[in-house]
Amino acid sequence: MLLESHDHAANRELIMFELHASKVTSLKNDVLSGLTVALALVPEAVAFAFVAGVEPLVGLYAAFMVGLITAAFGGRPGMISGATGAMAVVMVSLVAIHGVEYLFATVVLTGIIQILAGVFKLGKFIRLVPHPVMLGFVNGLAIVIFLAQLGQFKVFDDAGELQWITGSALYTMLGLIALTMAIIHLLPKLTKAVPSSLVAIVVVTAIAASFDLDARTVVDYVRAMTNDPAATIAGGLPSFSIPNVSFNFESLTIILPFALVLAAIGLIESLLTLTLIDELTETRGHGNRECIAQGTANTVTGFFGGMGGCAMIGQSMININSGGRGRASGISAALALLGFILFASDLIEIIPLAALVGVMFIVVIGTFEWSSLRIMGKIPKADAFVIVLVSGVTVISDLAMAVVVGVIVSALVFAWQHAKHVLVTRSTDDNGWTVYEVNGPLFFGAVTSFLDQFDVASDSKDVIVEFKNSRVADHSAIEAIDTLADRYLAKGKTLHLRHLSQECKILLTKAGDLVEVNYIEDPKYHVATDKLA
């Protein structure tokens, strides 16, 4: 399968706005990068809190706690976690029907499920996600991030309806966005001593404040989202509280379905983001450790009044772009965010939204796999379809659904293609016995072709089926072998099955004593290991 992943780095060099990721972990870079990420986290956390139907501080507390715990104990240094839109859209119906306390209880249960996923080492199965699904995931999220920024170009009118901004406000915002993007692109050519994104935010904020430009700020956004002219991001430390819900079976039936969906979405998005950063940094994260850290973070967050969260690909890309490679970057981002809430809300609230939109536009350009457009005509049509399908479902529905759909379609395509690859060759050995040698995997899609290639009536009294070059993959394949044994038994002939795996010999019940095995040469198959997870 041609996907040209080997020259991925070369492909990315063609992008105008490239990720200037440092290859060396530096405490200075981590701290400055973390500060940059924290600035971008504020409007995102507020927006996702609004989507979930909760107060802004619920989103900000989640961004702080989830970000801090996963940065300190997670399996991927440099990855940023916090409140996310993918999880927020699932929470909104729960909050609307049952209230915020049920959300906190659900987040706690979500964390427990994610911890169990890590304990049972389920993180390794992220390796089953095909590369076309990964490309679709990345492209889809880039589109989602881009579309999310368009919301910053709208304001509420007197009737409470969202309207696109026009006139001087629009031109000012576009100009500040262009300036932000230009600084981020050009500054690394002069110096990489400080993150270009941080410099861009500071410079654009200073210009907007000095010239009193008609630019919407972070506090304007918070007040518009909450419909409260006095709203602010200022707050105190999160406090411990057991969710105020009834601890009975009825409550469990309410929160468990939401917790399962949230746990799945959180882990899928986190593990795929981990895989993407592995590729960008040419290092390897640990999926199972990340599952446990994400679960711990959500469990703690639920007890401290946060909405939970998972990895954030946009902020993670900002971090990598700004040189953040170590755990200190995520920890710095979380602590800086808490500092904004406690002490510096006035400074953060004057940041123009245009500066943060410009940063996110750079993230979009750097995240989208432009090479996937170039290779569309060179890869199998099924792979191209999967890329487009996953991208579309990510935009229309949600990430978890997109990945599940992509994996299922890829698996069906794989099954259909390999169903045609089972070849059975017939020969006669020195004893006059008929020998059938099976080549290719035997599974549910190939059993019909497999059975059709045997000539039971004309075969010798003793028949050997050689599986040395075949992998018996599933129960359908075992049933096909049983069916074949029955056919020969009905003709009064003996069927000898050689070089089956140990698993198949245990499950092969119908053939009974007719099965001839070779314990010395029989292979042992191992599907997945935990060594690198």
pLDDT digit string (tens) for 41-78? 888 888 788 778 888 899 999 999 999 999 999 999 99
Q: Any idea where the domains of the chain sit in the sequence?
A: 5-165+215-347+369-399, 420-514
Render pLDDT for 240-252 as a digit per residue (tens, 0 to 9).
999 999 989 999 9
Bridge-based pairing of strands 494-498 and 462-469 is parallel
The number of residues making up the chain comes to: 533
Average confidence (pLDDT) over 235-240: 92
Whole-number mean pLDDT of the chain?
A: 85
Count Cβ atoms below 10 Å from residue 143 Cβ, excluding itself: 17
pTM (predicted TM-score): 0.74
Share of residues in the chain with pLDDT > 70 (%): 89
pLDDT at residue 495 in the model: 86
The pLDDT, as a whole number, for residue 5 is 40
The pLDDT of residue 510 is 52
Per-residue pLDDT at 513 exceeds 70:
no
Nearest to 257 by CA among 106, 124, 146: 106
| Calpha distance 364→318 (Å, rounded) | 10
pLDDT of residue 6: 39
DSSP letter for 24, please.
S
Inform me whether the pLDDT recorded for 344 exceeds 50. Answer: yes
Which of 158, 164, 184 has the alpha carbon at shortest distance from 40?
A: 184
pLDDT at 486: 87
CA angle centred on 79, ends 76 and 83, rounded to 5°: 125
Confidence label for 508 from pLDDT (cuts 50, 70 and 90): low
Task: Write the CB contacts of 489 (distance below 8 Å, at least 6 apart in sequence).
Answer: 495, 514
Contacts of 6 (CB under 8 A, 6+ apart): none
Would you say residue 438 has pLDDT above 90? yes
What would the pLDDT profile of 132-162 be if each residue is shown by its tens digit? 998 998 898 889 888 888 888 988 877 778 8
Round to whole Å and give the CA distance between 405 and 1. Answer: 20
DSSP state letter for 424: E
Q: Per-residue confidence at 195, pLDDT binned at 50, 70, 90? A: confident
Residue 176 has pLDDT above 50, yes or no: yes
Residue type, 504: C
Tell me which CATH code domain 420-514 carries.
3.30.750.24
Q: What is the dihedral of CA 55, 59, 62, 63, to 10 degrees?
A: -150
Helix 218-226 to helix 56-73 angle (10° resolution) is 120
